[in-house]
Each structure stands twice: as C-alpha cells, then as structure tokens.
C-alpha cells in the first residue's frame, strides 16, 4: 500500500514510519521542512519525502493523489493557547480537502480521550478535529489515547524530571486527577493493526492501559520502578499560574507548554471500554511495564523520537530549520577561531557529542550559569539536554540550541540559539583541510543587542577559546 503519514517528524510519526516500512508499504512523508528530515531517512527505501504545510493549502498540490491510506498525526502547531485550536482546525480542513481529491480509502487519526463533560482547550480541539475530518469520500478510524508513556514522550520526561529531582514534593491538587495511561508500543500496535481493516471503518475507539491511576500514583509508581523513595503532599492553594511555574522550573518543559498541561491535568482521562482489544488482539501493558521498557530504550541509547525535538519545546524557533541555515554576515558580530586537527574523525566525534551530559568541554559552570539565567527569564535553559549521546540530526534540540545542519561526511555542524537573547545567534563547527573552524555569530536587535555583545565578549573569548582547544586536544 501507498501510505501518507502527516506529522512525520513528530513523536508518533517518527516511530510508526519504520513499522510501516517493515510491513512492505511505501510511505509518503508530508513534512514542512525536507532539510530537517533528509538525513534522518537517507538510508531508507520505499520512502518519499514531500514538502507540504497543512496550514498553507497551496503547498498541498505537491502531495500525490495515488495513496491508499493516510495517518493524520498533526497536533497543536503552536505554543500559544490562544491560537492553537484555530490552527488545528485549519490543518484538518485543508487535509480533508486534499484527501477528498485522492483515491484514499482510510484515514487513521490519533486523538485524545474526550469523555469528561468539562474538557480542556486541547482536548476540545482534538474533538473538533475529529468532527472536521469526517467525510463521505473516505473512511475515518479514530483512536483516542490516554497519556502516552514511552521514552521521549512529554508525559514520561516530565514525570521523570519530577521523580528524579525531588525526593519530597509539595504539589498541586490536580495530582489527584484520575487518568488511564497507555504504553507507546501499544499505541503503535493499534495504529498499525487497524490499517486496511474494513470493520474499523468510520469507527472511534478509546485506547488505554489496564491501570486507572491518579497523577500522584503515577509519580509514586514511577519512583518505585526506579528504586526511589518519594513523598508527595498535595495542597489546594496552588493556582494554575503557580502550578505552571512549578512544572516549568522543575522539569524540561517550556512555560507555555506547562500552562497547557496544567489546563489539561484537571480533566479526568478515563476510557470507555470496547471490543477493540480483542478485535486487534492487543493486550495493553501495565503502567509500570511501560516505564520499565522506556528505560530499556534509554539505557540502550535507542530513543527514536522525543517531544523535545518538536518546535513546541522551542523558545524561539517556530518555522523551518532551513530558514536559518544561511548564517548572516551583514550587521553581525563574530567570534572566529581555528585550530589544526591531527585526527579529524576523533574531533568530529567530540563535536557530535557536545552538550547534554557531556557538557561543552570548557567553562561548563559558565554554561550552566547562562542556562539558569535563560530559564529565569522564561527561556529553555539547559534542561532539554539531547536525545542521543552521539547522534545529531537537523531539527534536534541540543540544550538551548537547535541543530540546523548536521553532516558528518561534510564535517559540519550548525546550531541556532533558542535562549532568550536581544538578537539571534549561531554556532558553527566545520573542518576543512585538517583545520577546525569554530564561528559564533550574533546578529543584534537594536541597542540592547549591541550592549549585550560587548558585555559578554570577555566571557566569549575565555569560553570559546577554551572550548576549541579542548575539542582538538589529543587525549
């Protein structure tokens, strides 16, 4: 079958594509930014990359008409709670118009459980998208999932941050809200096994794990799985704003995403039973097992996708990585350094391991101070780390940077700053003729940007000089 996957660079999209390829299908990936994913899928056969933005109807003409099925995995395209539901409806409307012009027989949509009488803005938006996708031209199969638990998922990483950082928690009362989490492997099983099943056409199912848990119980069971003793006291006095700040400062989430999560966490997410488990022969795993399997992936350094690599984790970047690939020269300040390289392979490996747990090779305490300052002013800080200890792809989050270009063969890495700045910044590493060139570029915004550059120049000289020396140093 020829299958279109929307949201191909998202948390579920990245994971379902290899499964579809293993089944012998041809996968068409609809992406907004081909340079971001070209390296990721370069060794894959039976895969087609098509650049299309479902917010822009005119770009959908690039998509093929000869598709048999499609996965609709597009979720909130914006950090702003004021506009995301409008954008989601627009994407769904444009997708439907496109799909109705093709030969597609089935569209599979992954949504969220929406059974509570009082829904959050995000869950209400998911429900509206489902209604928008209904069509007489194709069959719609909807799976409504509870909280998804897996390595790299937003819920998993937030719970992990809370449990591993805080032995004792004074927490908001919404920790007593009930939910029904489901392992990401089970979600993928439902999505793939439903493909081509005519008995599931124009049907909607809640999918969920066997455990009904409060968020507090999820935290405590997570701690138990990790062999940690944790104590939680819930208090009724935390306002939504205070709760959002609590999540923001303790976990790796952005403030806007934290605010959206707090808005959703007051809603019970309990699924309605159906015969879907027996139909597809799936027995969802327990919450504890899902957590344990997630850590197997983490320990093997085989996390396929992470919510942190989504643009929603960004403090600044909201469009396309290729927009920032041409580093400006006019009106910019630069810190340029070069060093001879004896062993290019070793140096490239060190560059590809930079950030995260490895650190920045020199003046790491200063990087941490800069990260703390960024977080204090509402930025991402250094909390996101990196998805993999020595792999980088365009679009990956890397501490408070975003990977714009990463090509080991061409020996070049380009990063774009997502910390709070009065301007824009790039950091480039490239090796040519056994010379490592390290360039920090800053394009100031107004007088504040210029004053900022002059204020940090002494630290830049100290840190960047030490960093390049450490990178080329032979051990």
Query: In this structure, what CATH number is given to the domain that contains residue 456?
Result: 3.30.530.20
Q: How confident is the model at residue 341 (pLDDT cuts 50, 70, 90)?
A: very high
pLDDT average, residue stretch 356-385: 80
Which residue among 309, 335, 362 closes a domain?
309
Say if residue 274 is in the same domain as residue 335: no
Q: Does one domain contain both 294 and 326?
A: no
Residues 128 and 232 placed together within one structural domain of the fold: yes
212-216, 292-296, 322-326, 335-339: range with lowest mean pLDDT? 322-326
Q: Please tell me whether residues 286 and 385 are part of one structural domain.
A: no
Shared domain for 271 and 337, answered yes or no, is: no
The answer on pLDDT for 192 being more than 90 is yes
Closest listed residue to residue 429, CA positions, set 410, 457, 456, 448: 410
Domain match, 225 and 328 both: no
What is the average pLDDT across 234-249? 68
Host domain of residue 302? 2-309
Highest mean pLDDT among 124-133, 138-147, 245-254: 138-147
Cβ 248 vs Cβ 255: under 8 Å:
yes
Q: Domain count of the chain? A: 2
- Same domain for 260 and 326: no
Spatial neighbors of 152 by CB under 8 A, at least 6 apart, are: 11, 303, 304, 305, 306, 307, 308, 387
What's the pLDDT score for residue 77? 44
Give the integer Cα–Cα distance in Å for 47 and 44. 6
Final residue belonging to a domain, choices 270, 294, 309:
309
| 143 token code pair | 């799976």
Say if residue 342 is exposed, middle or buried (CB neighbours under 10 Å; 0-12, 13-18, 19+).
exposed
pLDDT over threshold 60, residue 321: no
Per residue in 368-388, is it b (16+ CB within 10 Å) or e — as a string?
Answer: eebbeebbeeebbbbbbbbbb
pLDDT > 70 in the chain, percent = 82
pLDDT confidence of residue 259: 63
More confident residue, 288 or 295: 288
Q: How far is CA 137 from CA 103, 105, 127, 202, 224, in A?
A: 9, 8, 20, 11, 49
- Looking at per-residue confidence, does 384 or 11 come out higher? 11
Rounded to an integer, what distance in angstroms lies between the CA atom of residue 31 and that of residue 44?
A: 16
Q: Is the pLDDT of residue 325 over 80?
A: no
> Are 190 and 110 found together in one domain?
yes
325, 266 Cβ separation under 8 angstroms: no
Considering the domain architecture, whether residues 125 and 173 belong to the same structural domain is answered as yes
Give the whole-angstrom CA distance, residue 176 versus residue 234: 8
Tokens representing 459 are 């630290």
Same domain, 329 and 344: yes
Average of per-residue pLDDT across 275-292: 93
Q: How confident is the model at residue 280 (pLDDT cuts 50, 70, 90)?
A: very high
Q: Read off the CATH number of the domain in which 234 is found.
A: 3.40.50.720
Predicted confidence band of residue 400 (pLDDT cuts 50, 70, 90): confident
Name the band, by pLDDT with cuts 50, 70 and 90, for residue 79: very low
pLDDT at 204 over 90: yes
159-168, 291-300, 306-315: least confident range:
306-315
Q: pLDDT digit string (tens) for 30-50?
A: 887 776 666 666 667 788 888
pLDDT at 313: 46
Structure confidence at residue 173 as a pLDDT band (50, 70, 90): confident
Q: What is the mean pLDDT of the chain?
A: 83
**Most confident option among 114-118, 138-142, 290-294, 444-448:** 138-142
Residue 153 reports pLDDT greater than 80: no
CB count within 10 Å of CB 56 equals 12
Same-domain status, 39 and 141: yes
**Same domain as 266, residue 197:** yes
- 312 pLDDT band, cuts 50/70/90, is very low
Q: How far apart are CA 135 and CA 140, in angstroms?
A: 7
DSSP, collapsed to helix, strand or coil, labels residue 28 as: strand
Q: What local confidence, expressed as pLDDT, does residue 147 receive?
A: 86
Which of 264, 281, 309 lies at the terminal end of a domain, its last residue? 309
Decide if pLDDT at 78 tops 50: no
At 371-388, the pLDDT tens digits run: 888 777 777 777 677 778
């Amino acid at each position: 079958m020829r299958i279109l996957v929307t949201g191909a660079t998202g948390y579920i999209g990245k994971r379902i594509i290899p499964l579809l390829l293993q089944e012998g299908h041809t996968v068409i990936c609809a992406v907004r930014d081909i340079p971001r994913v070209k390296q990721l899928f370069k060794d894959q056969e039976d895969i087609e990359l098509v650049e299309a933005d479902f917010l822009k109807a005119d770009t959908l003409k690039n998509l093929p008409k000869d598709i048999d099925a499609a996965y609709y995995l597009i979720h909130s395209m914006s950090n702003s709670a004021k506009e995301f539901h409008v954008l989601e409806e627009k994407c769904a409307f444009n997708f439907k118009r496109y799909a109705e012009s093709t030969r597609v027989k089935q569209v599979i949509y992954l949504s969220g459980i929406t059974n509570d009488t009082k829904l959050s803005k995000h869950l209400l938006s998911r429900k509206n998208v489902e209604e928008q996708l209904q069509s007489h031209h194709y069959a719609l199969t909807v799976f409504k999932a509870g909280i998804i638990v897996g390595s790299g998922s937003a819920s998993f990483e937030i719970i992990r941050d809370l449990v591993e950082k805080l032995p004792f928690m004074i927490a908001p009362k919404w920790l007593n809200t009930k939910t029904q989490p489901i392992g990401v492997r089970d979600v993928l099983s439902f999505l793939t096994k439903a493909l081509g099943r005519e008995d599931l056409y124009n049907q909607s199912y809640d999918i969920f794990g066997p455990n009904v848990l409060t968020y507090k119980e999820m935290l405590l069971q997570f701690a138990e799985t990790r062999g940690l003793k944790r104590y939680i006291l819930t208090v009724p006095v935390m306002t939504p704003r205070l709760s959002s700040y609590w999540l923001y400062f303790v976990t790796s989430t952005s403030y806007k995403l934290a605010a959206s999560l707090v808005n959703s966490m007051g809603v019970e997410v309990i699924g309605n039973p159906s015969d879907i488990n027996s139909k597809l022969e799936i027995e969802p795993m327990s919450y504890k097992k899902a957590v344990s399997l997630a850590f197997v992936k983490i320990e093997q350094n085989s996390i396929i996708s992470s919510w942190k690599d989504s643009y929603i984790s960004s403090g600044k970047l909201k469009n396309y990585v290729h927009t920032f690939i041409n580093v400006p020269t006019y009106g910019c300040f630069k810190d340029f350094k070069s060093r001879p390289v004896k062993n290019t392979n070793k140096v490239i490996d060190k560059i590809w391991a930079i950030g995260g747990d490895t650190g920045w090779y020199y003046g790491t305490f200063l990087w941490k101070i800069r990260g703390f300052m960024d977080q204090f002013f509402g930025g991402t800080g250094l909390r996101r780390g990196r998805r993999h200890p020595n792999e980088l792809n365009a679009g990956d989050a890397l501490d408070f940077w975003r990977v714009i270009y990463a090509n080991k063969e061409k020996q070049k890495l380009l990063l774009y700053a997502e910390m709070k700045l009065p301007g824009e910044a790039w950091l480039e590493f490239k090796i040519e003729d056994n010379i490592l060139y390290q360039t920090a570029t800053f394009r100031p915004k107004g007088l504040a940007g210029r004053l900022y550059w002059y204020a940090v120049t002494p630290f830049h000289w100290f840190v960047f000089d030490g960093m390049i020396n450490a990178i080329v140093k032979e051990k």
